[in-house]
Amino acid sequence: MSIPTDRQYTAEHEWVQLDAGTATVGVTAYATDALGDVVYLDLPAVGSEVVAGQPCGEIESTKSVSELYSPVTGTISRINDAAVEAPEVVNADPYGEGWLFAVTVEAEGPLLDAEAYTALTDQG
């Protein structure tokens, strides 16, 4: 499984792509493999505040319900309505169309580069 090097990761298996003060957030392919088929997303509301390392939503699969953690502190600027309506896109394209939400960043939490995340998940 290839881990994109153009973003950073959390130990909770979220990815974050930072661009001019905005962070786009999703879950990794490692997470979707562990979860199984994603069937429901409970994402934070636009305008709500999130705190790095704190739960901010849920992802439900045929196997379990897991909390989503924000990799950054800031304000939710948009959510991926297409993924909410068709959660299977998270499994099909976790690093692209399956992104979850975007945050106007005030501060970053502890983040890993692709190499460190690969080591964490023993995918090397």
Instruction: Give tens-digit pLDDT for 61-107.
Output: 999 999 999 999 999 999 999 999 999 999 999 999 999 999 999 99
How far is residue 80 from each of residues 74, 103, 104, measured CA to CA in Å?
A: 17, 12, 15
pLDDT over 90 (residue 46): yes
- Within 10 A of 45 (CB to CB), how many other CB atoms are there? 10
The pLDDT assigned to 18 comes to: 96
**Is 61:39 a contact under the CB 8 Å cutoff?**
yes
Is pLDDT at 21 greater than 80 in this prediction? yes
Check residue 102 and give its pLDDT: 98
- Share the mean pLDDT of the chain: 95
pLDDT of residue 89: 98
For range 45-65, the mean pLDDT: 97
| 48 and 77 Cβ atoms separated by less than 8 Å | no
For the chain, domains (ranges, CATH) are 8-108 (2.40.50.100)
Q: Answer yes or no: is pLDDT of 1 > 80.
A: no
Comparison of pLDDT for 116 and 2, the residue scoring more = 116
